[in-house]
Chains A and B, each alone.
Chain A
Amino acid sequence: DTGVSQNPRHKITKRGQNVTFRCDPISEHNRLYWYRQTLGQGPEFLTYFQNEAQLEKSRLLSDRFSAERPKGSFSTLEIQRTEQGDSAMYLCASSAGDWFGAFFGQGTRLTVV
């Protein structure tokens, strides 16, 4: 499978716990995006990498969220001290560059109980 891969697919966690999600982009895609989507809404931007550099981060993103992309390959998104409002689908997408579009993974469904 040469698409964007996200793990885990589902995660249930207790409020206050930390969680980490992984995204493996399409090989040789230098751009990687994280989005969050809640039911009935469009994807909401979280952050964006070009290679290993984090170029843009949503102002809506609290300090509890952090993302990394070591060596410009896979990326991780960590949420510390999870809250019930963090429950959502977390989507990762990768792109080969301008005007190539972004290709999304299947997402990680987070439920905070």
Chain B
Amino acid sequence: QQQVKQSPQSLIVQKGGISIINCAYENTAFDYFPWYQQFPGKGPALLIAIRPDVSEKKEGRFTISFNKSAKQFSLHIMDSQPGDSATYFCAAQNTGNQFYFGTGTSLTVIP
């Protein structure tokens, strides 16, 4: 059973556009939600993370929006650049335990 459901599977965005990736979960015990960026042949890199006591967190061009009642969270990449082309994974954790990962979104930013 997939603990974290991620969509879309792939995404193509024009340079300068906004990329939006969505995730949903069921386990209300989850209390930490990170996003990871992964380039081919590399390990996932922590991008940004949020706790459920806030509804939004912004770091540079990356923003997480969190809807606790809907059990959904999303990553927004503003002013998308070709260098952002990578696979993005959302994750969820019940602190002190393992991280559960989504299935990934392959983002392609077209120049």
Q: Which residues of A contact B (CB under 8 A)?
A: 4, 6, 33, 35, 40-45, 48, 56, 91, 93, 98-99, 101-107
A40: chain B residues at CB < 8 Å are 104
Q: Compute how far the CA of A56 lies from the CA of B95 in the bound complex, rounded to whole angstroms.
A: 13
Chain B interface residue count, CB cutoff 8 Å, equals: 22
Q: Which residues of B contact A (CB under 8 A)?
A: 6, 32, 34, 36, 42-46, 49, 51, 89, 95-104
Q: Tell me the complex Cα distance, A77–B37, Å.
A: 24
13 intermolecular pairs with C-beta atoms under 8 Å apart: A6-B43, A35-B101, A42-B89, A43-B44, A45-B98, A48-B98, A91-B43, A91-B44, A98-B32, A99-B49, A101-B46, A104-B43, A104-B46
Given A33-B99, A98-B96, A104-B43, A43 and B89 contact (CB-CB distance below 8 Å): yes
Nearest CB in chain B: distance from A51 CB, A: 13
Are the C-beta atoms of A104 and B98 separated by less than 8 Å?
Answer: no
B98–A99 touching, CB < 8 Å: no
Closest chain A residue, CB of each to CB of B102: A42
Taking A45-B98, A104-B43, A104-B45 as known contacts, 14 extra A-B pairs with beta carbons closer than 8 A to each other, sorted by chain A number, are A4-B43, A40-B104, A41-B104, A42-B101, A43-B89, A48-B97, A48-B98, A56-B97, A98-B95, A98-B96, A102-B34, A102-B99, A103-B46, A107-B43
Q: How far is the CB of A48 from chain B (nearest CB, A)?
A: 6
For the complex formed, measure the closest distance between the CB of A30 and the CB atoms of chain B, giving whole angstroms.
Answer: 11
By beta carbon, the residue of chain B nearest A43 is B101
Closest to B101 in A: A42
Nearest-CB distance from B37 to chain A (Å)?
11
